Structure formats: structure tokens, C-alpha cells
Amino acid sequence: MGYENIRFPEGSKFLVTGSAGFIGSNLVEAILNLGYQVRGLDNFSTGKRENVEQFISNSNYEFIEGDICEFSRCMEACEGIDYVLHQAAWGSVPRSIEMPLLYEEINIKGTLNMMEAARQSGVKKFVYASSSSVYGDEPNLPKKEGKEGNLLSPYALTKRVDEEYGRLYTKLYNLETYGLRYFNVFGRRQDPDGVYAAVIPKFIKQLLNGESPMINGDGQQSRDFTYIENVIEANLKACNAKSEAAGHAYNIAYGGREFLIDIYNQLLNALGKDIQPLFGPTRKGDIKHSNADISKAQEMLGYEPEWSFEQGIEAAIEWYKNNLGSLSHS
């Protein structure tokens, strides 16, 4: 895998915020497997306890139940930490349109709390989750850093503000920050339930249960779906990046482009199902097409994603087949 040979100084200690979530728990697992110490922080507002419990017996792991909106908690979490991987946030474009105040509080104030705590604690690198949604209505493909359009949702705005704070914290305070603009991440442990669930796990679960999934719009929208392993690689490589790379945001994707209707048909084939989808209205705030230029991350972070969409979807389907039973009751 793209990160198994990455090395950090002996005794390095990582903080993963949002560690009970999909991306956070995968980061915790990868870092523990590399043999380093990890502290997790989560308040379970969207994360799951079972994602934390699997690591409790590992002597290199400790967990703090707490909220990034409480600065004292952020200070406690950053104590003695070398690298912060800040994943805690509320996702979902449609939900942010319904709850803008909450998104301001968690995604902007919470991130600022974490940056400030990291600065005061002398953290070496602060890597944080941004989003492809910052490109807004910029029509050109592939999406390239520095060519952003008008924002289309409060969620996108919160991520743009986080990037601006990241830039300032590097420039004003010498905290090395690295923003990772994730493009449609999918893979094991991604929640298939709830009205705001991501499309791939939701489709897989519904098809396995013999239900007809709902496709928003005509299914002709395209996305740069990115398997979780590539995201782990990007986070760890950012922790090892040169100081000149700090203060910037980077596209983190595979660099491909999949149409939703094609993915649906691919899932049908893989699962041996014959189910017609339902088509619903296009979602407010959604971008029609998304595809990333990843050359900046390749050049500055040494990011070389190894997992194609095909490899990732195969692994994801396998995981959901084996774990859907345990997910349903949680």
C-alpha cells in the first residue's frame, strides 16, 4: 500500500479528531498498524462507538470523549502531540443548508479551536479535512487548486474558511497546516444509513436488501470517487511533507471520473441483482460534475494514489457483504 513504508521519528504521537467516524477510524487503524501512538477525540455526534471500541485494547491507543467546540478539550487533546489529523466536522451539503448555524459552530469554530490548541501545544504538523465542495460552481474540469467558483452551500463555505485559517496559521504563527480537499471518499466503515448517507454505501445496502435506491437527478452527474486507502496515504504523507508545502490546500482524489448511473449498474452486476432505481429531484447545492487534478499533491506531498475506483469498489462491496449485519443494529 501507498503508506506502509512511511516512517516517523520513534515515539511519534498522533491525534485524530473525529476518530469514531468513517475516515477518522481508518486513520487510527493505519497509524496503530505502523506502530505509532494515537489519541482519538470524538463526541459521537456522527461517529460510532464501535469504531472506537475495536482499538481500546491496543496499548498505543487512548481515547478522549470530547467536543472540538470546547477549547479546553482541544488543549487537553493536543498535549504532547506531534501530528494532528483533524477530521472532526459535520458533513453533508443538504444538511448544512438546513442548519447553517450548527455548521459555523462545528466546522469553523471547532477547527479554529483545534488549530489554536495545536499552535499553543507546539504541534509539528496540522493536517485537516477540506472538501471538493470548495470549487462551487466553477465549471471547468478537472478541478484545479486556485480556480474556485462561487460557493453553493454553508458546508462548502465552512471548508473554504478553514483553508483560509490554515493559510494564516502557517503564515502568522508558523503552524504547518495542510488542507486536504477530499473528493467523494468511500470504503469500509462508511455509514450506509440515514437521510444524509453517502451514495455508495447506501446503494450497496439497499441493493443487498432488495430495495430500489433513489438516484437524485438523472444519474448523469459524475464524481471522482476516492477509495479510503488513498486518503490515508495523503494524510500520512502530509505529516511528512516539506515545510514549503505548508499553508496550502490539495486535491485528494484518484483523478478519475465516474458517472452515477454507471456506478449503479456496476453495483448491480457485482451483487448479481436486477433492480430498477428510482429517480428523484436534483439536490440543492450539489455540483454536477467533479474530477480532480491531483498534480499539486503529487508534486508537493509525494501523493501517488494506488487504489483505482474499480479496486476500491470491489473491496468496499466485499466489506459490506461481510459486515452489513453488524451495521444494521447500530
Catalytic residue among 155, 178, 182, 320: 155
Give the Cα separation of 36 and 30 in Å (integer): 9
φ, ψ for residue 38, nearest 5 deg: -135, 135
Q: Are strands 176-182 and 125-131 parallel, antiparallel or unpaired?
A: parallel
Can you say how many angstroms the Cα of residue 20 is from the centroid of all Cα atoms in its chain?
Answer: 12
Q: Is 65 left (phi over 0), alpha (psi -120 to 50) or beta?
A: beta
275's grid cell: 433492480
182 is catalytic: no
φ, ψ for residue 41, nearest 5 deg: -135, 130
Three state DSSP letters for the chain: CCCCCCCCCCCCEEEEECCCCHHHHHHHHHHHHHCCEEEEEECCCCCCHHHHHCCCCCCCEEEEECCCCCHHHHHHHHCCCCEEEECCCCCCHHHHHHCHHHHHHHHHHHHHHHHHHHHHCCCCEEEEEEEHHHHCCCCCCCECCCCCCCCCCHHHHHHHHHHHHHHHHHHHHCCEEEEEEECCEECCCCCCCCCCCCHHHHHHHHHHCCCCCEEECCCCCEECCEEHHHHHHHHHHHHCCCHHHCCEEEEECCCCCEEHHHHHHHHHHHHCCCCCCEEECCCCCCCCECCECCHHHHHHHCCCCCCCHHHHHHHHHHHHHHHHHHHHCC
Show which residues are catalytic.
155
